[in-house]
Structure 1
Amino acid sequence: MFASLNAAGAYSAARNAVAPGQPGPAVQAISQAAEDFAAQMGQVDQAATGAMTGQIETHRLVQTIAEAELTMETVVAIRDKVVEAYQEILRMPV
């Protein structure tokens, strides 16, 4: 009898721990960063199209591409750190 009550209590506690809810601040920050990255890449597309049609100066295109390159390097560095952390977790003994 006591074992089934303990099991039911443990199940209830575990269910609350893994239940989906509001995303935490870290998830929201990553989501915002992904949206900013997509917006930056969209600006590059617009600048490239504008440069091809003659609506944007070449200097502005080069500046936009340089900003996008810096953004891409940042995203790649973050991705590398995430992959490194994941591989470290996989190496942990259970």
Structure 2
Amino acid sequence: MILNASQLEAVRQRTDEELRSGATHGYPAATIRDLLQTVEALKKEKRKWKKLAQERGQVLAAIQDLSVRTLPKNGDSPHGADDRNGTVGPRSDD
């Protein structure tokens, strides 16, 4: 079961009340508290990785933009390669 933010907050409040009152039925309140802290930590990790993925996408877009701008426009090879067989140097029929 996936809990939304309001459900998590309700569980957190109930757990805090049980910790204050010293209730002993059900799951130990400390265990629930630890689980809630784990959920919060996972949310932070998810945000961190999402931000990293967005930054990676921006960098890849910038690299692609640079590569498009630096490639030859008329199909010429940038290093003088022979387009017929991929060799570098003067063509054999020159």
Q: TM-score, normalised by structure 2?
A: 0.49
Q: TM-score, normalised by structure 1?
A: 0.49
Greater RCO (Cα-Cα under 8 Å, separation 6 or more): 1
Higher helix share: 1
Largest Rg, 1 or 2: 2
